[in-house]
Amino acid sequence: MPHADVVVIGAGLSGLVAAARLAETGATVTLVAKGHASTHWGAGGLDVAAPVGAGTPAEGVARLAAEDHPYSFLGPDVAPSVAWLLERLEASGLPYAGTLDTPIRRVPTAIGGTRRVAIVPAAQAAALRPWDRDELLVVAGPAGFKDFWPAAIADSLGRESVWQGADRPSHVTGVSVELAGIADRNNLNAMHLARRFDDPAQRADDIGRFAAAVRKAAGGRPGRVAVPAVFGLGEHAEAWEELRARLPLEPFEIPLVPPSIPGMRLWHVLRERIRAAGGRVQIGEAVHRIHVEGGRVIAVEMEAAARTHLIRTEALIMATGGLAGGGLVATGDGHIVEPLLNLHVDAPEHDAWLVADALDPSGHPIEAAGIATDAGLRPLAHDGRTVALANVLVAGALLAGQRSLRERCGDGIAVASGWRAANELATDAARTPIGREPLAVRTDQ
Amino acid sequence: MAVPHTVDVLVIGGGATGAGVLRDLARRGLKSVLVERSDFGTGTTGRYHGLLHSGGRYVGKDKLAARECIDENRVLRRIAPASIEDTGGYFVATPDDPDDYVEAFAENCGLSGVDFDEVRVADLLAREPALNPKIRRAFRTPDGSIEPWQLIESTLADAKRHGSTALTYHRVVGMELIGNRISEVTLRDERTGTVSRVWTRFVVSAAGAWAGQIAALANVAVEMTPGKGTMLIYNHRMTDAVINRCHRSSDGDIMVPVHTVAILGTTDIKVPDPDEYEITRAEVVRLVSEGAKMFPDLPRMRILRAYAGVRPLYQPPADAVPGVGNRSISRAHAILDHADQGVENFVSIVGGKLTTHRLMAEQTVDVVAAKMGVTTRCTTAEEMLPGQEAGHTYWLGHRLADHEEEGGGDAALLCECELVDRRMVDTYLDTHWPCSIDDVRRGTRVGMGPCQGAFCTFRVAGLVAERLDQHTAATGLPAPGAHVVDGHGPGTGALHAAIADRALTGFLRERFKGTRPIAEGRQLQELMMTNGIYVGVLGLDSMASAPAPAVDEESLHAAR
């Protein structure tokens, strides 16, 4: 039977960070997941903490740490874990801009709104710089692309209100760029475009057309260019460098609806780091049973391609996500359950799950549902004191007490908890080293 | 379109009944105008469960209603074939249905003229395997599903062809009486606030659940008993035929497949105000547990949304007991000639069903025509309506075939669920502009499929803005309709953006009203994911908290 020191369930940011960190420390780690997760439907940045009133992520963390919030015990790990991750992303050719002390700024979105960020991929970094009074913003996207409408975005960003009091460009204009061969595509999506920009010859032509259109729209005025986040997947660095070199104004990417290209870049880097350090990543395998013996998890059972796999393990990291990710499930009778281990879930009363307005700035109480843990991320039983299972740790959106939409803290919790979970177990693994035999499993995907 | 100065008849209410009345009047030579306070088909007509009645639901208790249904069912199949999917229907006897009702069903169908065949349960289960295997008997009837918006559009097109007009976003705010006759009706344009007056010889109120409010303007009392009916939209068609319980009509006993989804109906709860009601979780629980008697797996199937319509039930007020179910009140309609209350040229048509709207219109116009000395007979059952030439409703397969055939750069799929491509939306905008994004939804079904608009609403908003900007760029002028907000925004771009904003925030908020009572299981997951995308990635909250535009989303109707 295959064996791993640690099995991580879930391929979102917390699971990826936990597995990458563990693999670096020499533990044998296998990450299993039923599919892609938060990376593929987020914006690709690192939202650490931007509650209302916080000027920087560090301030946001401090503010949330004072509440009944995962940062109340994860707080000290935020800075080292984020630094660790940013260093590795940079080393892998996917640099990010911003730190925990970078001012939180409003950047444009793909429907012409704004959102508050501080740490973003380098390709989104130009949006973070304050706007000078005379600066123009050109919104440029491929004609016929249904997930990015330059005219609509420009119309909306031309309004003071969406900037919510922040500085903003003096003028916003939208241009549609006719790319060769797009006209006969009747279903063009972000992936198609990203692959086009991975092709050097195609990219040279496409970027030339972008440059011409932007030059015409800008008319020599100073400013910046917003483009959809589709500039390359495998060759993003090259595509981005080429775009920057040839455009008359500095560009930044705006993330789109899923699938998120910036998130996929992040996913690819982290997966490669896990693999390079000897870990395994198995996507498309839904865990359907976890074997527990004597208060400890001993094996994880997955179903894939109509047969089951069993991995024996010394420890388990539950990075299965919250309600959106499927790590928590509403049963239909007013209860929220954690379906794999039936861990005790802290959740508000049924009647209080959702407030009346979908867009209420305070968010919905149900967002805070999750698993309460001790400071070592071990899940607590119903009594709120006893550790439910000795060798299980909880990370990411499954943790109770976060309202990540309102607080914009989901990525920070994922990174800090994934990192801490890995550190806790790495210490254990170091005490009982286990041989690195190849596991009898297929490659992922 | 300008408000006419003088008309023969003013019709109030842009649902199916009002449209039918306008058409019938026009075909009898009475030049008329229809006024609707919102868009066409946004009241009860647009919030119903999609059923073309065979009459089978009424054979037990109201044979007249049943007979009217089957007669009109046949007429509508003839005059509006492109609005109808001939799904067929079954009345199934579950173990919970009383024997005496089941045994009398066939005879009652016979007495009401409703076509039926008893079918072998095994054959039915082979055809509809999601049904309860414990069903004891089953009767096939000619039920179907019907698309209300297309039907109204065709009906109004015929009325226009015969010289009449219809106005959206015009609310009746006053009626002038000279002696015992209404002489003049005051309208307010709901987008501009502009007030205008129409001289009219006669007034027909087809305001449905709102008929009491209209009648009050002429100092006439009409006691409506609005009955809220809540329905649940499922994310797939677990049945290809309409399924009814074979019992006396009650809650959660009918499933209607409509295009890509299926709709479970209904509850029936008296509400004091047809504009103010909410859907409770208790109703949802009741619908699902009753529906499970037909489809045992229903509690595990995914509900997309709950919504409610208000039935225009009419009954003299003495019989209405507050808080008690409404189902004993007749669905059959009544024509109220207000001459009895001292207004000679005013008639209200109340009650009824979408299936019988044409008959209701015919009978109403018979009354009106007699009073106005017009002897032309009704011809509305005879010819196919304009826009119905396809002869059958479309399926996704038809759309896919069109899409594949057309290809081309303008054919980007904007709505993957309902296969609405850019060409279809462009065509709709070309023929209906200026219009709202919500109108595009009703006109093309964009956003009505399983994702309920999550991935397509912003695309339609983007397309609309692109077209508006192109117009402005080409002409140097604001797009038609934009004049409505002159002085309210810094420029045309802001207006275009406000239209998109309203569509997006309105969409998310409206949808949430319908998903909140059903937020369980996968649908709660979907809700959290949608919120994550719209707030987390797209920053919709930054737009929602913007100051409300001085006009509402439908401002673009101004030039219509």
ipTM of predicted assembly, 2 dp: 0.93
Name the closest residue on chain A to residue B465, using Cα atoms: A152
> What CA–CA distance (Å, rounded) separates B307 from B263?
10
B301, two tokens? 């199937």
Query: Cis before residue A259, ω within 30 degrees of 0?
Result: yes
- Do strands B117-119 and B181-189 pair parallel, antiparallel, or not at all (unpaired)? unpaired
Same domain, B305 and B270: yes
B432 within 8 A of B444, measured Cβ to Cβ: no
Task: State mean pLDDT over B148-168.
Answer: 95
- Residue B353 and residue B402 in one domain: no
Number of structural domains in chain B: 3
pLDDT score at B541: 87
Cite the beta strand spans of A192-256 per DSSP E. 223-228, 250-254
CA distance A35 to chain B (A): 15
> What gap in Å lies between CA B221 and CA A26, rounded to an integer?
84
Quick one: what percent of chain B has pLDDT higher than 70? 89
Same domain, B440 and B482: yes
- For CA atoms A69, A70, A76, A81, give the dihedral sign: negative
B335 with B238, same domain: the answer is: no
Q: pLDDT, tens digit, for every residue of B366-425?
A: 999 999 999 999 999 999 999 999 888 877 777 777 777 765 445 788 988 888 988 889
Q: Which of A283, A287, A333, A294 is nearest to A309 (CA)?
A: A287
Counting DSSP H helices and E strands in chain B, the numbers are 15, 22
| Burial of A166 per CB tally in 10 Å (0-12, 13-18, 19+) | middle
Whole-angstrom Cα distance, residue B413 to residue B424? Answer: 10
What does the block give as tokens for B183? Answer: 């002489």
Question: A43–B531: do the CB atoms touch at under 8 Å?
Answer: no
- Ordered DSSP codes for B106-174: HHHHHHHT---EEE-HHHHHHH-TTS-TT--EEEEE--EEE-HHHHHHHHHHHHHHTT-EEESSEEEEE
Alpha carbon distance, N-terminus to C-terminus of chain B: 5
Residue among B276, B537, B543 with most chain A CBs within 10 A, to mutate? B537
pLDDT at position B160 over 70:
yes
Size of interface A-B (CB pairs under 8 A): 199
Q: Are B329 and B315 in contact (CB under 8 A)?
A: yes
What DSSP state is assigned to residue B298?
A: G
- Percentage of chain A with pLDDT > 70? 95
CA–CA separation, A145 and B46 (whole Å): 32
Write the burial class of residue B374 (CB in 10 Å: 0-12 exposed, 13-18 middle, 19+ buried): middle
* CA–CA min distance B177, chain A (Å): 44
Residue B141 placed within a domain: yes
Q: In whole angstroms, give the CA distance from residue A350 to residue A39.
A: 30
* Nearest residue, CB atoms, A42 vs list B408, B519, B537: B537
The enclosing H or E element of A139 equals strand A136-142
Cα separation, A84 vs B241, in Å, equals 59
SS3 string, B10-74, reads EEECCCHHHHHHHHHHHHCCCCEEEECCCCCCCCCHHHCCCEECCCHHHCCCCHHHHHHHHHHHH
Phi, psi at B452, each rounded to 5° = 55, 35
Tell the residue number behind the tokens 């004072």, with chain if given.
A66
Q: Residues of A with CB below 8 A from B408's CB?
A: 183-184, 186
Using only the alpha carbons of chain A, give its radius of gyration: 23
Position B244 in a domain = yes
B471 touches chain A (CB under 8 A): no
Whether B123 and B131 have beta carbons less than 8 Å apart is answered as no
Task: Read off φ and ψ for residue B280, nearest 5 degrees.
Answer: -100, 155
* DSSP bridge pairs for B228: B269, B310
Question: For A2-22, how does the pLDDT look when each residue is reduced to its tens digit (9 = 90+)?
Answer: 899 999 999 999 999 999 999
Q: Between β-strands B346-350 and B195-205, what pairing exists: parallel, antiparallel or unpaired? A: parallel
Report in angstroms the alpha-carbon separations of A279 from A6, A444, B265: 10, 12, 53
Q: Where are the domains of chain A?
A: 3-93+264-431, 110-254
Residue A288 CB partners (closer than 8 Å, separation 6+)? A301, A302, A303, A308
Identify which of A444, A405, A445 has the alpha carbon closest to the alpha carbon of residue A43: A405
Q: State which amino acid sits at residue B392.
A: H
Distance CA B109, CA A2 (A): 67
pLDDT digits (tens, 9 = 90+) for B3-17: 888 999 999 999 999
Residues of chain B in contact with residue A172, where contact means CB-CB under 8 angstroms, are 493
Matching residue, tokens 């006893």: A386
Quick count: other Cβ atoms within 10 Å of Cβ B192? 15
Contact between B338 and B359 under an 8 Å Cβ cutoff? The reply is no
Within 385-414 of B, beta carbons closer than 8 Å to A belong to: 403, 406-414
B543 in reach of chain A (CB within 8 A): yes
What does each C-alpha distance from B124 to B97, B134, B543 come to in angstroms? 18, 12, 51
| B80-92: pLDDT as tens digits | 999 999 999 999 9
Confirm whether B387 is domain-assigned.
Answer: no
Is B535's CB within 8 Å of A326's CB?
Answer: no
Residue B357 covered by a domain: yes
Q: Which residue of A has its CA nearest to B505?
A: A359
The neighbour count for residue A164, using CB atoms within 10 Å, is 17
In the predicted model, is pLDDT for residue B71 greater than 60?
A: yes
Is B509 in contact with A147 (Cβ distance < 8 A)? no
CA distance A235 to A265: 10
Residues B268 and B337 in one domain: no
Domain A3-93+264-431 annotated CATH 3.30.70.890: no
Predicted confidence (pLDDT) at residue B493 exceeds the cutoff of 80: no
Shortest CA distance from B490: residue in chain A: A159
CB contact under 8 A, A326 and B540: no
Residues listed for chain B: 560
Which of A114, A148, A151 lies closest to B539 in CB terms?
Answer: A114
SS3 B314: strand
Mutate to test the interface with B, among A40, A159, A350, A362 (most CBs of B within 10 A): A159
Reported confidence tier of residue B434, pLDDT bands at 50, 70, 90: low
Question: Residue A86: what pLDDT?
Answer: 98
Chain B partners within 8 Å of A332 (Cβ): 299, 520-521
Q: Does the CB of B421 have a partner CB in chain A at under 8 Å?
A: yes
Question: Which one has a higher pLDDT value, B136 or B326?
Answer: B136
- What CATH number should be reported for the domain holding residue B244? 3.30.9.10
The radius of gyration of chain B's CA atoms, rounded to the nearest angstrom, is 24
Contact between chains at A405 and B535 (C-beta distance less than 8 A): yes
- Structural domain of B546: 396-559
**DSSP string covering A114-130, please?**
EEEESBEEGGGGGGGSP
Cα–Cα distance between B504 and B510 in angstroms, integer? 10
Judging contacts by C-beta atoms under 8 Å, the chain A residues touching residue B278 are none
In 3-state terms, what secondary structure has residue A36?
A: coil
Contact residues on chain A for B491, CB-CB shorter than 8 A: 158
**Do residues B272 and B306 share a domain?**
yes
**Does residue B302 register a pLDDT over 50?**
yes
Whether residues B234 and B350 fall in one domain = no
pLDDT, averaged in runs of 10, over chain A (445 residues): 94 98 95 94 96 95 96 97 98 97 97 95 97 94 92 89 91 93 76 96 97 95 97 97 98 96 98 96 93 95 84 97 95 92 95 88 91 96 93 98 92 98 80 40 36
Residue B481 pLDDT exceeds 60 = no
Task: Give pLDDT, residue B521.
Answer: 84
The verdict on B114 and B254 lying in the same domain is yes
| Residue B377 in domain | no
For residue A150, whether the previous peptide bond is cis, meaning omega lies within 30 degrees of 0, is no
Residue B107 in this model has a pLDDT that exceeds 80: yes
pLDDT of residue A308: 85
B257 contacts: CB under 8 Å, gap ≥ 6: B85, B87, B145, B237, B239, B240, B241, B242
**Lowest-confidence range among B95-109, B112-126, B381-395, B469-483?**
B469-483
What is the SS3 assignment for A217?
helix
Q: How confident is the model at residue B36 (pLDDT cuts 50, 70, 90)?
A: very high
Are residues B497 and B408 located together in one domain of the fold? Answer: yes
Q: What is the mean pLDDT of chain B?
A: 86
Query: What's the confidence (pLDDT) of residue B547?
Result: 44
3-state secondary structure of B531: helix
Residue type (1 letter), B177: L
Amino acid type, B452: Q
CA distance, residue B117 to nearest chain A CA (Å): 38
Average pLDDT over residues B170-182: 96
For residue A443, count CB atoms less than 10 angstroms from its CB and return exposed for 0-12, middle for 13-18, buried for 19 or more. Answer: exposed
pLDDT at A287: 95
In a domain, B256, yes or no: yes
B338: in domain? yes
Partner A contacted by B370 (CB < 8 A): no
How does pLDDT run across B305-353, given as a tens digit for each residue?
A: 899 998 888 865 454 343 334 444 455 789 999 998 999 999 999 988 9
Specify whether B344 is located in the same domain as B443.
Answer: no
Q: Give the largest CA-CA distance in chain B.
A: 73
Evaluate whether residue B319 is within a structural domain.
Answer: no
Count Cβ atoms below 10 Å from residue B420 Cβ, excluding itself. 27
How far, in Å, CA of A231 to CA of A142, rounded? 11
Distance CA B16, CA B24 (A): 12
